[in-house]
A and B are shown apart, each in its own frame.
Chain A
């Protein structure tokens, strides 16, 4: 009960001015984004066990890698009804029990009457400590009313922050693992690309062989062609030489036939011809 004064943990079921925790649980369950990753044969469903998750069937749950017998999760925090008690100590059922008989003030009347009876009959001995106890109760009630909510929220936030930090550590680890899966699969896919490279190497080899073969053929063809071209050129030079020789020979023979007498005769014939042309 004292922990309730300092820490509002647990699932609050009753009416409350704050949003009850159970609603947060319900909304977290309905809004949880579950992702599915593929394994080789099956699929792993990523469970959303983040705060404020709740495992109800905790007795049958098997902890992974449990190092000792019976190790398992703790039971979930019990449901907590804020309206279960009034003024932290008096059960609501007492008020409900007396309500039909005495109305809303019944329990208070009963308690006051009981206290008065205890004092008057001296079942409760009135002493110095009574003042002390009364002062204690009043002081703590005042403190609780004044700063109680702040202290409760602070301690609750400490607890929740730690849980959320653990959730983060777990989520980061899982993200890293999923990334590793992706990377390994990518590397495997890349390794299978070796086939393509081998094909390229085979193609290169075939191309090089083909190139060499064609080059050899081309060089043979080139050599044969050069010899034939030589023949053609030799023939051409031959004909040119013979033709030139013939022209020279004819010229020589013609020159030999020309003597001074024939030259004079030709000159005379030319003059006679000129004369005839001039007389016309």
Chain B
């Protein structure tokens, strides 16, 4: 009888845990608990005996033909392997996930390039002493006062919106 097969690769949970975003901690923990249950079941099967002590039965049973018949039939019998129906679905899911990850990273790179552009713009500004007021308002849109909405000085909704005092 073919006993234990496949070598199971252990999962590096510590490595995985540090990569999980705080928002996903709950989902990750349920996944880990399920995986731990699967692992525990697997470890339980490792203790099960899969062989029969034929010598003992040959000795203790008078009907030798019966035992021999049993042994012969047992050796000939192949335990049917469980049919792997989930593997294809898992592969499909993994493929979709990978596509999503690639897409996410691509989007991140795009927004990164935008951020770098913005950084470059800010970085190449001349000192404020040499900029006109209009230049300052053009480069920093949030600073431009809304004269139509707030016609009276200081042209902001609350005093907190005024230029901050230097730290």
Contacts and interface: CB of A to CB of B under 8 A. Distances in A.
A220 B11 contact: no
A218 B45 contact: yes
A217 interface: yes
A196 B12 contact: yes
A205 B114 CA distance: 42
A232 B53 CA distance: 13
A52 B129 contact: yes
A154 interface: no
A58 B112 contact: no
Nearest to B59: A232
Nearest to B140: A169
A212 B82 contact: yes
Interface stretch (A59-67, A101-109, A257-265, A272-280): A59-67
Contact of A220 (B12, B77, B93): B77
B81 interface: yes
A211 B119 contact: no
A252 interface: no
A44 B116 contact: yes
For chain A, what secondary structure do more than half of its interface residues adopt (helix, strand, loop), or is it mixed? helix
A203 B11 contact: yes
Contact of A209 (B84, B109, B128): B84
Nearest to A77: B129
Interface in B93-124: 93-94, 97-98, 101, 104-105, 108-109, 111-113, 115-116, 118-124
A139 interface: no
A76 interface: yes
Given A51-B129, A194-B101, A202-B90, A211 B11 contact: no
A175 to B, nearest CB: 11
A18 interface: no
**B interface secondary structure, majority:** helix
A178 B123 CA distance: 12
A198 B81 CA distance: 24
A53 B118 CA distance: 21
A190 B8 contact: no
Given A67-B138, A196-B15, A225-B52, A58 B81 contact: no
Interface stretch (A91-99, A114-122, A130-138, A179-187): A179-187
A170 B63 contact: no
A190 B105 contact: no
Given A167-B128, A205-B87, A220-B77, A196 B19 contact: yes
A44 B120 contact: yes
Given A65-B138, A205-B86, 16 more contacts: A39-B116, A46-B123, A64-B120, A72-B126, A163-B129, A169-B143, A174-B119, A177-B119, A191-B108, A192-B19, A192-B101, A196-B15, A197-B31, A204-B34, A211-B38, A227-B70
23 contacts: A51-B128, A52-B127, A52-B129, A63-B125, A64-B120, A74-B132, A166-B128, A170-B122, A174-B122, A177-B122, A181-B116, A194-B97, A196-B19, A197-B16, A198-B98, A203-B8, A207-B38, A210-B6, A213-B81, A214-B4, A215-B45, A218-B50, A231-B66
Interface of A: 37, 39-40, 44-47, 49-55, 58, 61, 63-65, 67, 71-77, 161-170, 173-174, 177-178, 180-181, 184-185, 187-218, 220-221, 224-225, 227-228, 231-232, 235
